[in-house]
Amino acid sequence: MAGKLHFSLVAPEREVFSGEVDQVDAAGVEGDFGVLPGHAPFMTALREGPVTVRDGNRTRVFEVKGGFADVTPQGLTILAEQASEAAAS
């Protein structure tokens, strides 16, 4: 699938991440899900868990504690209760 997905991860104190990426995987309350460019719109609550962002060969992982994910034709926005980038291993 051509194109990129616009992804924003926002916590109460700041925007943690914003950019064009290939894929985002997250932990929804009804199960884990992945979002690619052109995904059908939906909204879901999140449970505590990782949000994995893939862009080319680069992968970043953010730890999220609750919140909501909103997929629209413009991209994916996660409004998290708490979010921080996981330490690299």
The domain limits of the chain are 5-85
- Thinking of the domain 5-85, which architecture would CATH place it in? Sandwich (2.60)
Per-residue pLDDT band for 2 (boundaries 50, 70, 90) equals low
How do residues 38-71 score in pLDDT, each as one tens digit?
999 999 999 999 999 999 999 999 999 999 999 9
Note whether 28 and 66 are within 8 A (CB): no
CA dihedral 36, 40, 46, 47 (to 10 degrees): -70
Listed in sequence order, the DSSP H helices in the chain are none
pLDDT-derived band of residue 22, with 50, 70 and 90 as boundaries? Answer: very high
Per-residue confidence band for 81, with pLDDT thresholds at 50, 70 and 90: very high
The radius of gyration of the chain from alpha carbons, rounded to an integer in Å, stands at 12
What mean pLDDT, rounded, does the chain reach? 94
* All residues at 6 or more sequence positions from 31 whose CB lies less than 8 Å from its CB, including other chains: none
